[in-house]
Structure 1
Amino acid sequence: MGDLKVLEWNVNQYSSSKDVPEYVINEIVRKNPDIIVLVEFKGINNAKLMEENLLDYYVTYY
Structure 2
Amino acid sequence: MPTTPAAAGSARPASVINEEIRGLVEQGGLGSETYLELLVEWAAAQRSETLRGDVAEAA
TM-score scaled to structure 2, two decimals? 0.32
TM-score scaled to structure 1, two decimals? 0.31
Q: Which has the higher strand share?
A: 1
Rg larger in structure: 2
Q: Which has the higher helix share?
A: 2
